[in-house]
Amino acid sequence: MIVRYDAWTTHAGRIAAERATGTGHAVALAGGARRLRIKDGESVWRTIAQLRAQPGVDYAVPDYRIQPTSAYFPNDPGRGGKGNWRKLQWNFAGPFGVRAPRAWGTLRGLHADGGRGVTVAVIDSGIAPDVISAIRYAHQHNVVMVGSAGNDSENRLSYPAQDPDVISVGATTSSGCQAEYSNFGNGLDLMAPGGGTDAELTGSSWDRAHCGRGGDGREIFQQTFVESFSDFHLVGVEGTSESAPHVTAIAAMIIASHRLGAHPSADAVKARIESRARDVGPPGYDKHYGYGLVDAAASVAP
């Protein structure tokens, strides 16, 4: 697996983390990362979860075997030449993006490009008895539902995100930190890129090392209607409404990949995304980051 430690982590701290997780034989890689081997026979994903919980670990991910189709980078020009979309859309391919190119490559290899065969519906709803009963009905029929946590910087989740049958999603910045506008609270499931500036959090080593410096305010770019139905172009926006679609897309790719079988339950899809999310913020689950920053590549990996 590949692990990178925070800049302040000492040699003794790295050794302690590796001993605690049954890993070792570290090999230095470019960018300050290290390749570790599992020595105690534990599974890759359990070991990664243990590493992510260690003090001083910036991130830990599987060491995927590189294949020609392991990543797919569209030639979309963005606002420039071939492939320039990557300069704008940090949320897909940046250090704290969702690792979309690797997921796209995996789906292409499975002939399930773009979540082929999966229907995605976008619904704008409030709270009403009919909505609540519709959510219950949909969950009973294994429809995966995703909701935005809200943009009020408050310790509460908006509805329907607060419904236990809906995957609630908060927003992160390009620094991997909770966005200043993002709602949080008990029951928050996941985080995904929403853009904007960092919330001023200091409650964990992650926040102290990465966040609270304002961030660079980078936005999420998308093709959308701006002022009228005839005004449709690439525009930068921010919010948890931009975060939730990342999770919706990952759910669609999991279903299309058949990693969980031909007809996975909504709960199984949710558990898959949560268990393979990148643990940012305090180790383990917390109300500011939920189970972590979604990882599309890990979610569709074998």
What was the pLDDT predicted at 237?
92
Q: How confident is the model at residue 288 (pLDDT cuts 50, 70, 90)?
A: very high
Q: Which amino acid is at 98?
A: V
> pTM value?
0.76
Q: State yes or no: pLDDT of 215 exceeds 80.
A: no
DSSP-assigned states of every residue in the chain: -EEEE-TT--HHHHHHHHHHHTEEEEEE-GGGEEEEEE-S---HHHHHHHHHTSTTEEEEE--PPP-TTS-------TTSSTTTHHHH-HHHHSTTS--HHHHHHHHHHTT-GGGTT-----------HHHHHHHHHHHHTT---EEE--SS--BS--TTTTSTTSEEEEEE-TTSSBBTT--B-TT--EEEE--S-B----SSHHHHHH-SS------EEEEEE-SSTT-EEEEEE-SHHHHHHHHHHHHHHHHHHTBTBSS--HHHHHHHHHHTSB--SSSS-BTTTBT-B--HHHHH--
Average pLDDT over residues 82-93: 83
Q: Decide if pLDDT at 48 tops 90.
A: no
**CA 204 to chain CA mean position, Å:** 19
Q: Is 111 exposed, middle or buried (0-12, 13-18, 19+ CB in 10 A)?
A: exposed
- Residue-level pLDDT at 124: 67
**Token pair 């409404």 is at which residue?**
241
Domains and CATH numbers, the chain: 2-63 (3.30.70), 91-300 (3.40.50.200)
Residues 244 and 262: their CA atoms lie apart, in Å, by 24
Arithmetic mean of pLDDT over the chain? 87
Confidence of residue 68 (pLDDT cuts 50, 70, 90): very low
More confident site: 116 or 188:
188
pLDDT of 276: 94
> CA 201, 126, 272, 117 torsion: positive or negative?
negative
Looking at residue 204, what is its pLDDT? Answer: 87
pLDDT at 145 over 90: yes
Arithmetic mean of pLDDT, 140-148: 95
Q: What is the pLDDT of residues 116-139, one digit of tens each?
A: 888 887 776 666 678 889 999 999
Tell me the average pLDDT across 26-50: 82
Quick one: average pLDDT of 17-41?
84
Position with higher pLDDT, 227 vs 185: 185
Residue 64 banded pLDDT, cuts 50, 70, 90: low
Tell me what the mean pLDDT of segment 196-224 comes to: 84
Residue % of the chain over a pLDDT of 90: 50
Confidence of residue 162 (pLDDT cuts 50, 70, 90): very high
Q: Which two tokens stand for residue 70?
A: 């392991």
